[in-house]
Structures are given as structure tokens and as C-alpha cells.
Structure 1
Amino acid sequence: MRRWATYLGIVVLVATVAPVLGGGPAAAAPGGPSGVSAAAEGLTIRVTWSPPTDLTGVTGYRVTAVPVGPSVDVPVGAGSAVLTGGRPNTPYTAQVAGGSLRAVTPARLLDTRSGLGAPAGATHQVDLQVTGRGGIPASGVGSVALNVTVTQPAGAGFVTVYPSGTLRPTASNLNYVAGQTVPNLVVVPVGADGRVTLYSSAAAHLIADTAGWFSTTATAAPSAGLFHGLTPARLADTRIDLGGPTPDRGGVLDLQVTGAGGVPATGVSAVVLNTTVAGSTGPGFVTVYLSGQPAPTASNLNFVAGQVVANRAIVPVSTDGKVSFLNSNGLTRWSST
């Protein structure tokens, strides 16, 4: 039988996520940091704070300069952070916040090729409604995780994703050359109107799929959505049939993730995986999704013949501890890390 895909490998990159607890009254939100202060040192902002005494439910902090400037994520228990890349002569307010992570089945929110979420046609900017769509709640959302893809750009450039209604930062989430298709997983705070803005420096088609969302500090749960970092471990590599053989064109690999690579056998609702494709014989895409469910109309990786490309994915885990990988077509080899 002819192989259209050859190699797929998966490495647990950073996380498992604890399940949402059912039954009983709603738990109180975790305590927030206090005594937040900031000092400017050139274009660098040094932020300090006092962590709460009770760290139950605190999964880490996102430190942000407002209006949109540099931001950084730091682990639970941290009391300081350094933000770089500020703009000269710009006043900033430092914010320190935390929230619980919820993974969702990927759903497409934006595709300018078809007019989904924005008028059809190549564009430079889209203000995209994210709350209340694609598994994202209508309220209580601090940030969203989106798999953003640029395709058919008219020239070389970059994409920046940021909260709507705020100044566009000087950072980029995607970089591309003319005609290239590039995806990347982006975590971005949500604007006050429930939207995020996608800006492309060159006219291009933009695609965005949901991957998950983070609660606000006020709505964070003390035990659900806890983020646990792990030492990277390879769970699959189809070059050596680790985790299973490479699926044929249109085929699916169901991979056991719980109980492997440091992921607990129970109490896991989602995993963060770094997935890589290598040695493809033609263009295509890979979709990573909840095992046992129909494949969503979203993609995590896009590639052309011979390309090696990687991307991170936040994926819900099925009741039997598996996630699935769809091989679209035209591949010869899959590799994931």
C-alpha cells in the first residue's frame, strides 16, 4: 500500500491541564497579587509584586504593560518580571493577572478566503469577535489561544495579534515571505468588546482557529485548568513507528498521551504538544484534535513538499486519554516534537 505520509512524532512540550470539577458549589477565585509596582529603565520596565499567601489555584501570572506593549508569562510564586521592547515617550500601566486554562475543540472563527468572520479578500487588518464563538464563553474571558495562519501574502511581512481597541505593539506573531503559508499558536488578551485585532503588514489572507481560553482572575477556578510544566518527552515518532505508523493520505493517528511522557494517567483534560511535520511529498495540513470526535475544519500545521515545520497545539484529551492527528494529503513523512 502506498504511503502518502511517512513520519509523525509528538513531544510533550510544557503542560498537562487538570479537569474541570463537577458538582458542588462554585469554588472561590484564587487570590491575586498585591503591591504591584513598576520602574522604567530606558525601554525596559521592571515590575514587582507580592504573591498571595494562598496560592491554591494560581497557575502563573501574565505581566502586561497597558496600552498594549510588552508582556511576559511567569510561573506561580514569582514576584517580579522584566518587560522589554517598550516604546519611547509612551506612558504604561503595569498589570499582573492570572487565570485558568480551558482547552476547546478547534473551531474556525476567521477565514478571509471565504468571508468567514470578515469580508472575503486579502486584507491588512481584521477586528475579530472571539467571545461567544467557537467554544469561547461570552464573558469571563481574559485571553484566548488561537492558531493563526497567514496564506497567500502579497509580499514579505509579519502578523501581529493584539487586544482590539488598543495600540498595536511592535512585536510580531508570524513572519512570512511572499506566497508563504505559516501558522502559529498565539495567546492574546481579549479587548473590552470581546475582540482581538489581527494586523498583517502585507495584504494577505488570514485564518484563525480556537484552541482554548484563559479566565479572568475574578473567574479563575482554584483547581480547574491548572497548568503543569513537564520536561519534554517524545510520545510518537512515525519514522520508527513510535506511537504508531504514519497515516496514509486522509488517515488518522490516535495517540495515547495520558500515562506517557510524564503526563499523569488520570486527571488530565488537555495537553500542550509541539508537533512537527517533515519530508512531505506535497502540500497539505495536519489537524490535532480530541480523539473519538469528528475532525474539525481547522488546521494546526500547513506545509509544502519537503518542508519541515513545527507548531504548538493545545488539545483536549478524550476519556480514554488520547488525541488524534489527521493527515490531509500529499505527505510523505511526518515528524513531531
Structure 2
Amino acid sequence: MTAVVKLNSKHGFLLRNQAAKTHALISLLGYFAAPAATGGLGYVALPSARLLDTRTGVGAPKAKLTPNQWVAVDATTGGVPADATAAVVNMTALDQTAGGYLTAYPTASPAIASVDYHQFSRSNLVLVPLVAGRFVVQNRAATTDAMIDIVGYFSLTATARFVALPSPARIADSRTGNGGHYGTMTANSTFTVDAGGLNGVPYNVSGLWVGLTAIAAGNGYVSIYPAGTAAPHASNMDFTNGRVVPNAAIATLSPRTATAPPRFTTVNRFGSSNILEDAYGYFVSPGPN
């Protein structure tokens, strides 16, 4: 799972394990500087769109990825300009034959996993550098289908910068009614959450970094999208019956209006699940709040 972590005064953070024993691997993808700092990359949120689906032949031939097979992914088909520096995508492995992992990279394959998978569908938010609007995804170990949906991109010319919240804030929990929906979400049920004006988030935000958790009672997936727009054919988190499944996402928000703050909608596709959402930070451009 991709995580954005607020650093302490020593430029570090603490990692705590709860309950059982486990090994832990941490890979550094990048960092966010202070909002007033010069340089760095700005973020542009995009409507969700499917870049790759090996089940249907979108972006690659219709066939599972075999061990060590790689596929070139063209992010420009999802609205990313060719001069963008990095893409933000949601990557999903599903219908796998055994345990393995997918790795996304620009030119040379690193010794890290972008998505680990075993016997269930797994999704992960991935930030991947681009070369001329493209990157490579490679499968390791087993055979699997792969889906990739665009979320947004970073570039030198974009103006929105990331601001971390002092602490994560629970903004939705269908078990308690927080966020506007109380009770298990069934197929195609939705709820809409206000992003601007709450938890210290200003009104002129364009994106909200959130943690998603599904407590699943069936097989399905969750999509998030700007309020007031049509639900996309894209996934932010696939879940499997009887499992608690986490992922991260960057919610693209509706613009502020005279009657409503920036908002996003969550839809539960197929199956049933309880959905939890936590805000970690937001993207904002210079200008009036």
C-alpha cells in the first residue's frame, strides 16, 4: 500500500506493528517539500480512465501477463501530457494463478514491487516516473491479469502543491454514519463527502489524499470521482469477500460553487462492504481560498 507520511523534526517517522509478527518493506517514492518552497512538481487531478486491462485488450493484447512479461503503458491516452514528469495510477492485479508482484518503472526495472498479489485481487496507488508520457509495467513470478487506471500527474508547470494534515482525519465510516451513509453499502450505492472547509482543508483544493478501507461481505470494487459527474469505469480499490482491504487514493474534487464546497463521491460496485475513508492531506494552488 502507498502511504504519505508526515515527518517529525528529525525528518523521520515511526512505524508500528500491531498484534501479529510480520516482516516490513518500505520503498521511497519521493517527497513533498513545504508549500512555500521553490522547485518541485505540481499536481494535476484527472478524471479516472482505464489505461490497461489485459482481460479485455485495453492498452495491450487480451491475455494474462506471464512471468517476467512487460507491457508499455501510454499514459497520454488518459489525458496525461507528453511532458509530464510522473503519473499517479491505481494498479490492480487479479485472477492470478499464484503469488507474485507487478512493478511499474520508466526505463530500468527496480528491485521493488508496486503491487504484491497472492490469491486475491490487490490494488495499490502507484506514482511512476514517465518518459515521453509512457512507463512500463512488468509481472514477476506468477501469471495474472492487470488493470491500470489514471488518477493524475505531476509536472513542472502545474501549480497545485501538497499540504499534509497535522494528523489523519476520519471523514467517512459507513459503520457509524460518518460521511452521510449508515450501514453496509450494497451494489451501486453511493455517498458524497465534503472536502473543502473541514479538518483544516481550504475551499480552493483540487485533490484530497485519502486512505480507503473496505470491510467486505462480497467481491467488488470501489470508485471515487468528482461529485456531480458520472461514475467512471475505473477502480480505486478491489475487495474480496470476508477480507479487510486497504488502499490509498487521490480524490479528484468537484469545483467549489456558491452552494457547495469541493466534494467527491464514493460508489460501491458489486458485492457489499463497509467503507472507511481517512484524509491525509490535500492539493491546492496559490490563490484566494
Gaps of 5+ in 2: 7-26, 279-289
Paired with 2:101 and 2:122, the residues of 1 have a C-alpha distance of: 10
Paired with 1:226 and 1:241, the residues of 2 have a C-alpha distance of: 31
Paired with 1:257 and 1:324, the residues of 2 have a C-alpha distance of: 10
Match of 2:71 in 1: 126
Q: What code does the residue aligned with 2:74 have? A: Q
1:186 aligns with 2:126: yes
1:203 aligns with 2:163: no
**What SS does the corresponding residue of 1:74 show, helix, strand or coil?**
coil
1:249 aligns with 2:191: no
Give the direction of change, closer, same or farther, for the CA distance of 1:275–1:72 in structure 2 (3 Å limit): closer
Paired with 1:225 and 1:241, the residues of 2 have a C-alpha distance of: 31
- Alpha-carbon shift at residue 333 of structure 1 (Å): 2.4
Paired with 2:116 and 2:126, the residues of 1 have a C-alpha distance of: 13
Q: Deviations over 1:263-283 (max 9, x none)?
A: 11x2111111111111x2210
Match of 1:288 in 2: 224
- Alpha-carbon shift at residue 304 of structure 1 (Å): 1.3
* Percent identity over paired residues: 33
* Structure 1 contact 288–325 (Cα < 8 Å) conserved: yes
Paired with 1:253 and 1:150, the residues of 2 have a C-alpha distance of: 26
Which structure is larger by alpha-carbon Rg, 1 or 2? 1
Give the direction of change, closer, same or farther, for the CA distance of 1:172–1:282 in structure 2 (3 Å limit): same
- Alpha-carbon shift at residue 237 of structure 1 (Å): 1.2
User: Cα RMSD (Å) of the superposition?
Assistant: 2.0
If asked which structure has higher relative contact order (CA below 8 Å, sep 6+), I would say 1
Q: What code does the residue aligned with 1:187 have? A: L
Paired with 2:270 and 2:134, the residues of 1 have a C-alpha distance of: 34
Q: What code does the residue aligned with 2:101 have? A: F
1:237 aligns with 2:237: no
Paired with 2:109 and 2:173, the residues of 1 have a C-alpha distance of: 40
Match of 1:169 in 2: 110
Moved over 3 A (4+): none
TM-score by length of 2: 0.78
* Structure 2 contact 54–61 (Cα < 8 Å) conserved: yes
- Alpha-carbon shift at residue 72 of structure 1 (Å): 4.3
Aligned length, in residue pairs: 240
Give the direction of change, closer, same or farther, for the CA distance of 1:263–1:160 in structure 2 (3 Å limit): same
TM-score by length of 1: 0.67
1:323 aligns with 2:264: yes
- Alpha-carbon shift at residue 261 of structure 1 (Å): 1.9
Match of 1:74 in 2: 31
Q: Deviations over 1:2-30 (max 9, x none)?
A: xxxxxxxxxxx779xxxxxxxxxxxxxxx
